[in-house]
Amino acid sequence: MITCCTESVDTLAVTARKHTYAMARSRGAQAPDADLIEATTRGLECAAGGFTIDPWKPVELSLITHAHADHARAVAARYIASKASVPLLRHRLGQDIDIQGVNWGERLTLGETTVSFHPAGHVLGSAQIRIQRGEEVWVFTGDYKPDPDPSCEAFELVPCDTFITEATFALPVYRWPDGRTVAREIFDWWQQMRRSGRPAVLFAYSLGKAQRVLAELTAFTDETVHVHGAVEPLTELYRQSGIKMLPTQRIDPSGPREDYAGKLVLAPPGANGSKWMKRFPKASTGFCSGWMRVRGNRRRQGYDRGFVLSDHSDWQGLLDTITGTGATRVLTTHGQSATLVRYLRDELGLNAAELRTRYAGDDASTEEADP
């Protein structure tokens, strides 16, 4: 009976939202807070606060959600970010950048707005940005993941009126297995290669994914993992932040050739097919990504194994997060935005629309291939 009653209430709520949204569209009405954040040629601008979020062109003040290259660019005179992301941002943007690190939930007054940073669960230090002006509250998620991850802060659900969400994996086919289950698959593959006398070379994005693999694998082993030169410095910054991971050894491209048979090697996707791979004869290759949920992607990209491990929210996580915020207006960025917008409008009765940005959805196109 309780389940039945709950479903009836939910159905009524969705019907009411659809009716309200339809009336607003028929009148050509605009949401009262539509101008608090706007997509411009420079980035997501908040004129009331005098700042731009994750800009891609020069600005005075930039608020940064996280250190992936499609969100963090060296284009601002000043930066504000979570304290946990500051070392990563200095590593990627330059040690001499003018950056202010803030604590989780710390409130800053910027112009007419009050701003705070809240964990996004994407990578270490990744943040959602909450902006309030009067009674009006907006949240920009950047990239986020509500699933458990031992390598970064847990996602925090932040109530708001308008929610700007990523849509990288906004299709029903994208549903993630538990991270530890995937780590067990990786470990078993590694041990299989050990018995076969072959290297196991696993490609994973150098910031976030590689460190998550190293953290998840501590449940099964304490062995050393050999890593590409692009992975090692970022992994060291994670260690300095207190993240527990397997020990690593950087592969020296100028050093003597070693025998990596039976070893696990972590490298960015850009190293696949490069001269760097010649040191691993007869290697079995694997790729960690949410894209591996679609079986054909592994075959098309030429990997022996595909492991479904993502630092983004899956389809159900997106829907649960959106409804959990209580937002009455949802704007979607990068990824399967059109699909998500249609579902939110037609099935949930929400006021939803696409917001055009230059964010890539994952870090594949910006991964370093040089050792």
**Predicted local distance difference test score (pLDDT) of residue 356:** 79
CATH among 3.40.50.300, 3.30.1490.20, 3.20.20.10, 3.40.50.10890 for 179-307 = 3.40.50.10890
**Predicted local distance difference test score (pLDDT) of residue 302:** 82
Give start-end residues of each CATH 3.60.15.10 domain in the chain.
31-174+312-366
Tokens of 96: 């001499």
Residues 85-121 have pLDDT tens digits of 999 999 999 999 999 999 999 999 999 999 999 999 9
**Predicted local distance difference test score (pLDDT) of residue 253:** 85
Amino acid at 119: P
Residues 245-281 have pLDDT tens digits of 999 999 998 888 899 999 999 999 999 989 999 999 9
**Predicted local distance difference test score (pLDDT) of residue 361:** 57
Give start-end residues of each CATH 3.40.50.10890 domain in the chain.
179-307
Q: Which CATH architecture is the domain 31-174+312-366 placed in?
A: 4-Layer Sandwich (3.60)
**Predicted local distance difference test score (pLDDT) of residue 132:** 98
Nearest to 203 by CA among 259, 283, 144, 88: 283
Nearest to 260 by CA among 197, 349, 179, 337: 197
**Predicted local distance difference test score (pLDDT) of residue 351:** 97
- Host H or E run for residue 39: strand 38-39
Q: Which residues of the chain have pLDDT under 50?
A: 1-33, 363-369
**Predicted local distance difference test score (pLDDT) of residue 371:** 53
Which residue intervals of the chain are DSSP H helices?
2-27, 86-93, 179-196, 209-216, 232-240, 295-301, 315-325, 337-346
